[in-house]
């Protein structure tokens, strides 16, 4: 019996999974906008958010922040002289966190924990400081404190004047959902009553895009839908990078202002053959989904928001894992990466935002170029998946 199975057995016996976790707010800064109304409107339009980025004289597609998201970040940056030295990834997290705290109705005196992570951290600022060092042989005074991974949660805590625990981590593309796991653990352990969790990423730099190109997973398509996430018949990888941040407010107990509930959590890892591998049938996803479903009949899950980054192997292996776990009770399947790209450490929380919006509006948002799926019942339970390099999968089951 592995660790995940041992924990699951312990959790059932100790009854900690029976404690309700409420999501009292979720907020994002992304290519779709920075308010739930705008984000939902954009999801109902069958068009992507990609624009051209000049890389070494050639055009590469990326998903940049929307105009109103950029305005919110710009205003935040002007609100404190210290903020002008911060990386975009930190500013994005701060902007999203301000919105979430306000929407949750949390007071300035509330004690809450913060766990916001990132896959790459202060990407743009780190690369700038490194370029300066190569040119001058000297590092700038603030090079270290403004690029350390703990930078994100620390500055969010400063901006919100919080007094609870501050945690940062990086678990590649499943970072945001691992933050949810950690927040749930703190709450159910009785070590906190409220937790702000999420992820932030600003990876639109030449070097980061070049890294993805080197892996031969970046899209070179000029089609109407250049990221073919969930197209299981594609013959080339089509991942595209996006930027953004998303956070949610977790509280112990069933709250009247909850926008959704964390029904169950699951996680799993697998033995890797090489640095970026995932098995043909995504063993890690099978483990995480089975753990999240241990007290739920698979037929009760209405939708799965897949990780589905737009790569051939990534999309297909997750789809196979879902088929193995759910069998004939296959839910509706979707993803948002065809629309906003892959936001690395923030992607799982942006998927969770889509899940909550679909439940709130009782409307399934499918992938426009994939085989049509028909919604035949109300959307009450949605599973959200995320996985990253290292085979660290997370599955979160939400209910309305």
pLDDT truncated to tens, each residue of the chain (400 aa)?
554 555 555 444 444 455 899 999 999 999 999 999 999 999 999 999 999 988 777 789 999 999 999 999 999 999 999 999 999 999 999 999 999 999 999 987 889 999 999 999 999 999 999 999 999 999 998 889 888 888 899 999 999 999 999 999 999 999 999 999 999 999 999 999 999 999 999 999 999 999 999 999 999 988 899 999 999 999 999 999 999 999 999 999 999 999 999 999 999 988 766 555 567 778 899 999 999 999 999 999 999 999 999 999 999 999 999 999 999 889 999 999 999 999 999 999 999 999 999 999 999 999 999 888 999 999 999 999 999 877 799 999 999 9
Q: Could you tell me if residue 360 is inside a domain?
A: yes
Q: How many CB atoms are closer than 10 A to CB 337?
A: 30
Q: Could you tell me if residue 177 is inside a domain?
A: yes
Q: Contact 120/271 with Cβ under 8 angstroms?
A: no
The values of phi and psi at residue 60, to 5°, are -125, 140
With residue 223 as reference, give the H or E element that holds it. none
Q: How far apart are CA 292 and CA 312, in angstroms?
A: 26
For residue 356, the model assigns a pLDDT of 98
The two structure tokens encoding residue 173:
């593309």
Q: pLDDT per residue over 202-249, tens digit each? A: 999 999 999 999 999 999 988 899 999 999 999 999 999 999 999 999
Q: Could you tell me if residue 165 is inside a domain?
A: yes
For residue 15, the model assigns a pLDDT of 46
Q: How far apart are CA 379 and CA 361, in angstroms?
A: 9
Does the pTM of the predicted model rise above 0.75? Answer: yes
Residue 383's DSSP bridge partners are: 304, 397
Q: Contact 400/254 with Cβ under 8 angstroms?
A: no
With residue 36 as reference, give the H or E element that holds it. helix 36-43
Q: Contact 117/150 with Cβ under 8 angstroms?
A: no
Q: Could you tell me if residue 310 is inside a domain?
A: yes
Closest CA to 162 of 100, 118, 229, 204: 100
Angle at 370 between CA 365 and CA 374, to 5 degrees: 50
Residue bearing tokens 């909850």: 258
Q: Contact 227/219 with Cβ under 8 angstroms?
A: yes
Q: How many CB atoms are closer than 10 A to CB 287?
A: 24
The count of domains in the chain is 1
Q: Could you tell me if residue 11 is inside a domain?
A: no
SS (H, E, C) 280-304: CCCHHHHHHHHHHCCCCCHHHCCEE
What are the C-alpha distances in Å from 118 to residues 47, 62, 127, 206?
Answer: 27, 18, 16, 18
For the chain, report the end-to-end CA distance as a whole number of angstroms. 33
The values of phi and psi at residue 259, to 5°, are -95, -15
Q: pLDDT per residue over 241-280, tens digit each? A: 999 999 999 999 999 999 999 999 999 988 766 555 567 7
Q: Could you tell me if residue 10 is inside a domain?
A: no
Residues 6 or more apart whose CB falls under 8 angstroms from that of 243 comprise: 30, 31, 62, 63, 64, 65, 88, 92, 201, 202, 203, 204, 343
For residue 101, the model assigns a pLDDT of 96
Q: Could you tell me if residue 123 is inside a domain?
A: yes
Q: Which domain holds residue 303?
A: 21-399
Residue bearing tokens 């998903």: 63
Q: How far apart are CA 167 and CA 116, in angstroms?
A: 7
Q: pLDDT per residue over 85-100, tens digit each? A: 999 999 999 999 999 9
Which strands make up the sheet holding 166-167, listed edge to edge?
Answer: 166-167, 113-117, 194-201, 244-252, 21-29, 260-268, 393-399, 381-386, 303-305, 332-334
Q: Could you tell me if residue 96 is inside a domain?
A: yes
Q: Is 1 helix (H, G, I), strand (E, B) or coil?
A: coil
Q: pLDDT per residue over 342-352, tens digit each? A: 999 999 999 99
For residue 148, the model assigns a pLDDT of 87
Continuous H helices in 137-278: 151-160, 175-188, 206-214
Q: What is the CATH number of the domain that holds 350?
A: 3.40.47.10
């Amino acid at each position: 019996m592995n660790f995940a199975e041992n924990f699951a057995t312990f959790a059932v016996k100790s009854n900690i999974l029976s404690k309700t976790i409420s999501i009292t707010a979720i907020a994002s800064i992304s290519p779709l906008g920075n308010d739930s109304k705008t984000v939902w409107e954009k999801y109902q339009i069958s068009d992507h958010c990609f624009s051209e980025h000049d890389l070494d004289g050639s055009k590469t597609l990326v998903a940049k922040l929307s105009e109103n998201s950029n305005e919110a970040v710009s205003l935040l940056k002007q609100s404190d002289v210290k903020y002008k030295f911060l990386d975009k990834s930190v500013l994005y997290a701060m902007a999203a966190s301000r919105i979430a705290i306000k929407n949750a109705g949390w007071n300035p005196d509330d004690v809450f924990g913060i766990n916001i992570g990132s896959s790459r951290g202060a990407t743009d600022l780190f690369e700038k400081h490194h370029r300066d060092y190569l040119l001058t042989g000297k590092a700038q005074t603030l090079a270290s404190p403004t690029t350390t991974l703990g930078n994100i949660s620390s500055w969010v805590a400063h901006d919100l004047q919080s007094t609870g625990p501050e945690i940062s981590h990086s678990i590649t593309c499943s970072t945001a959902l691992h933050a949810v796991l950690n927040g749930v653990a703190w709450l159910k352990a009785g070590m906190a009553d409220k937790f702000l969790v999420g992820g932030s990423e600003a990876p639109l730099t030449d070097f980061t895009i070049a890294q993805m190109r080197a892996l031969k997973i970046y899209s070179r398509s000029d089609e109407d839908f250049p990221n073919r996430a969930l197209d299981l018949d594609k013959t080339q990888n089509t991942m595209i990078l996006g930027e953004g941040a998303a956070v949610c407010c977790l509280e112990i107990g069933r709250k009247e202002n909850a926008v959704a509930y964390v029904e169950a959590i699951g996680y799993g890892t697998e033995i890797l053959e090489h640095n970026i591998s995932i098995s043909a049938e995504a063993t890690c996803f099978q483990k995480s989904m089975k753990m999240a479903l241990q007290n739920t009949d698979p037929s009760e899950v209405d939708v799965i928001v897949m990780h589905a980054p737009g790569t051939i192997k990534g999309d297909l292996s997750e789809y196979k894992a879902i088929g193995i776990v759910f069998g004939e009770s296959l839910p509706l399947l979707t993803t948002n990466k065809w629309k906003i790209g892959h936001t690395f450490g923030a992607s799982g929380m942006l998927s969770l935002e889509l899940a909550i919006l679909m439940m709130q509006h009782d409307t399934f948002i499918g992938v426009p170029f994939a085989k049509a799926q028909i919604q035949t019942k109300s959307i009450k339970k949605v599973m959200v998946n995320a996985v990253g390099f290292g085979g660290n999968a997370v599955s979160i089951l939400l209910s309305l």
